[in-house]
Chains A and B, each alone.
Chain A
Amino acid sequence: MAYTVVADGIRKSYGGRAVLDGVDLAIEQGSVFALLGPNGAGKTTMVRILATLVAPDAGTAVIAGCDLLGDPVGVKGAISLTGQYAAIDDLLTGRENLEMMARLRHLPRRAVRSRVDDLLAEFDLADARDRRVKTYSGGMRRRLDLAASMVKRPDLAFLDEPTTGLDPRSREQLWGTVRRLVDEGVTVLLTTQYLEEADQLADTVALLTAGRIVAQGTPDELKSSLGAEVARLHFADPAGYGAALGHLESAHWEGARAEVARADEALRIIDVATDGSAAQVHALLGRLAAAGAPAARVSTRRPSLDDVFMSLTAGDAPSAPQPRSEIAR
């Protein structure tokens, strides 16, 4: 299999704080790779490093056959960057923005006009082409931002939180656009805080927390790492919730501790990973009742990426006694 990105041991610190603490990535050609993580996990720093904007403190990467540090101009020629804050010129019209990008990509003068017209049509912006971008809606800005990245089809497109702040309809439209790019053979590195987005678009998902990749796989692989079904237990009062959580997290659970995927004190809910069998859920409820902390209600569902995310990043909550990242060091 050919890889468009191979990054090895990328590190970056700002002011003594490690933002990226040795990140390895391998992205297959033509696939969508989602870098998923909470705010401050280092997603944008990783993108900025791979997009040649920031030099890593340590580590190497090869992008589309070009060495990141040895041949940055080659890398720049193979990539396109679509930012979290759509980096297009507000005071120019949509058409002027694309013409500017086409000239900067050194398209022949004759080809600029027709390429820009094609892009405006393809990204559904033909009607708005002579309006200043300032008057565009959020969805239109993102579409123009993407169109600007596609002036010359890149080998690798960085989409840094492409749908942050968009309404659900614009978000789905943008997802459609991204799928079309993939059909054209573009490899995509997507960063997102939205698990649904990674689930919808990505072939491979990597969870980035506190500068390290803590899990990686296809969305299905990650979900099945939490068992077949998640049982959500609701408790009537805080005392019952506290007792149940203490019991579930204690070491005396028939040899194997129950995996608490998520616990929310305010909502008094605890999510527990199970194999989906009636017997196991029955046993779970029985143990809690016997311990004097019976669940008031229970529901089960297939795990979502949300659950994986919650269970892996739970250790980073300030109240948690043993942050996972501490163990990893």
Chain B
Amino acid sequence: MSLVYAVTDSRVMVARCLRRSLRDPEAFFTALMLPIVLMLLFVYVFGGALNTGGSYVDYVVPGLIVLCAGFGAGTTAVSLATDMTNGIVDRFRSMPISGPSILIGQIAASLARNLIATALVIGVGLGIGWRPTTSGPRWLAAVGMIILFIFALSWLAAAVGLLAGGPEAANSFTFVLMFIPYVSTAFVPARTMPTALRGFAEHQPFTPIIETMRGLWMGQTSTGVALGHEAWVAIAYCLGILAVSFAGASWLFRHRTAA
């Protein structure tokens, strides 16, 4: 199969997934409301009582970005699991098209949805008084961190969506991804937690990712670990998740549809 066809097929699949994202009003509305509601909730309801050593909105933006990305990844897993079970992937697979294009469509739509949600978090944050104390190159580095993280999480979601027996099972992934960030430095510094939780919170993958963004935007991390170190750990986690998920999703896609 020629490269030209692979590109055409991927474009058709990306267009399909983007259209579906826009036309599922319930999911689309939730995806847009979530960043806004969570931001207002954390800053104005909880934020007053939380002491993070400064303005709470300055602390919480990276945590909310990760939380919304978790929700977005759940959407991706459900969307792919639905396609796998309702017969449309069977139809695509019975046609002479490029197999990977089916996954590429889902990943591209996932990236687009999550970047919009991230932009909303950042926009609402800036609107209610978030003031990053940073320079242009560090802003770009933070955006790069976000894109790498969302890309890795999208592939993880694809692997989970293929592994799940159906949309309902895939949906429990959303639940997991929306709770893990709470036991990280997303909303409060880990030093206030009991020892056992603190150990988990400081070493789970979300924390270095959050701390890298926080360090890049605000000049310092909440863990006391140097930004440079957090950044390398974050990048290593993302690349590791990406590599394992990519290999897993590719294998599952061939296996699930050829079994």
Contacts and interface: CB of A to CB of B under 8 A. Distances in A.
Contact of B12 (A52, A88, A100): A100
A83 B16 contact: no
A324 to B, nearest CB: 30
Interface stretch (B83-91, B133-141, B202-210, B215-223): B83-91
B211 interface: no
A88 B88 contact: yes
Interface residues of A, number: 30
Contact of A103 (B12, B23, B257): B12
Interface string B75-112: 00000000000111011111111000000000000000
B19 interface: yes
A268 interface: no
Contact of B5 (A48, A89, A106): A106
Contacts of A96: 19
Contacts of A77: 96
Contacts of B5: 106
Given A85-B87, A91-B23, A92-B19, A76 B12 contact: no
A79 B96 CA distance: 9
A52 B93 contact: yes
Interface string A71-115: 001001101110111111101100010001101111000000000
B9 interface: yes
B86 A87 contact: yes
Given A81-B90, A87-B86, A87-B88, A73 B1 contact: yes
Contacts of A132: 23
B88 A89 contact: yes
Contact of B259 (A54, A80, A100): A54
Contacts of B90: 48, 53, 81, 83, 87
A80 B88 CA distance: 13
A51 interface: yes
Interface string B1-43: 1000100110010011001100110000000000000000000
B88 to A, nearest CB: 5
A100 B5 CA distance: 14
Contacts of B9: 104
Interface string A59-79: 000000000000001001101
A263 interface: no
B196 interface: no
A54 to B, nearest CB: 7
B258 interface: yes
Nearest to A148: B91
Contacts of A101: 95
B12 A104 contact: yes
B4 to A, nearest CB: 9
Contact of A79 (B16, B87, B94): B94
A88 B87 CA distance: 8
Given A86-B87, A89-B16, A92-B19, A80 B1 contact: no
Given A54-B258, A103-B8, A83 B20 contact: no
Nearest to B91: A87
Contacts of B16: 89, 92, 100
Interface in B37-96: 86-88, 90-96
Contacts of A89: 16, 20, 88
A55 interface: yes
B24 A91 contact: yes
Contacts of A86: 87
A73 B96 contact: yes
A79 B93 CA distance: 11
A53 B12 contact: no
Contacts of A53: 90, 93-94, 257-258
B80 to A, nearest CB: 14
A193 B97 CA distance: 31
A52 B94 contact: yes
A80 B94 contact: yes
B95 to A, nearest CB: 6
Nearest to B98: A104
Contacts of A73: 1, 96
Interface of A: 48, 51-55, 73, 76-77, 79-81, 83-89, 91-92, 96, 100-101, 103-106, 132, 148
Closest 3 CB pairs of A and B: A87-B87, A81-B94, A76-B96
22 contacts: A52-B93, A53-B90, A53-B94, A54-B258, A55-B258, A81-B91, A85-B87, A87-B86, A87-B87, A87-B91, A89-B20, A89-B88, A91-B19, A92-B20, A100-B15, A101-B95, A103-B12, A104-B9, A104-B92, A104-B97, A106-B8, A148-B91
Interface of B: 1, 5, 8-9, 12, 15-16, 19-20, 23-24, 86-88, 90-97, 257-259
